[in-house]
Structure 1
């Protein structure tokens, strides 16, 4: 990957973090942040699981520091962000798998992990281990539905593969006679 593409990836990553911070208050109630799930899934599909995880961590830290959001900003994002990208790749580029990864990772795993964090570290009383599951599931379903519609539209008009190649990510479509799963580096070789 050349220096221009590395700069483009860094700028895109920073923009997604900024967008994630700005749109996170939309439809937000404690324990439910659908727009964060939109960003997680989009990053997982465009750049992969590690970039998605890094973006979720950066957004969570900024939200906690600047907006006074509790640690739910991290526990409710990191598991879904990583699992979304992992399932997307494991399914050979199925958008529904990325959404499912976010729902399982955040809606179930993140929600259950949030209980001890909020009860013991944050000092919230009256919580059970299933306390956050309903709101986290609802948030991931809303955000996942938006991401699914958005990414499906990008896929149908050919922009998804173009963006993935430009960002150095894996593509899972036949483009310019290239076998599915090859990155931009393989295209230019």
Structure 2
């Protein structure tokens, strides 16, 4: 990892991670549901800190690891996080109620701007995975249902984005497609200017 971290540091880039508290939660029955869903506090005496959620623990674990090898100032970006809204009977707590609680709790936590116990700014950026459900994936059924929109572009639940929760899924999809189109046109214009 040191050569990668050296490159990231030299280019003023970020360290990208996927942080899925749900996957850690289902693999470890000792982790409480309330703690995973931003509703409980846990004290870690060995570190001298307390955590309000499992997401911050996962981000700080990466921060500790990259700091230990000498790169404490590299920003950490969470490129994927979330909670599945459905799954098969063997997949514990993959449901819409917990998906809404997790994603709304995450948005509320990030909007407070308090970061993590070990880094004031916490994750530099965080992205919820994913916009639409994707039933074409291989693997467990919960892998198909991470979207905040159904496949028919209806909103599954609000997650606390000010002003955004009032839009229908179809309106959100149009806004995303419009933003993608603007980005594509911008890139094409840039390429043509360089050419």
TM range (shorter): 0.3 to 0.5
- Counting strand residues as a fraction of each chain, which structure ranks higher? 2
TM-score, L = length of structure 2: 0.31
Greater relative CO, 1 or 2 (CA 8 Å, sep 6+)? 1
Structure possessing the higher radius of gyration over alpha carbons: 2
TM-score, L = length of structure 1: 0.32
- Counting helix residues as a fraction of each chain, which structure ranks higher? 1
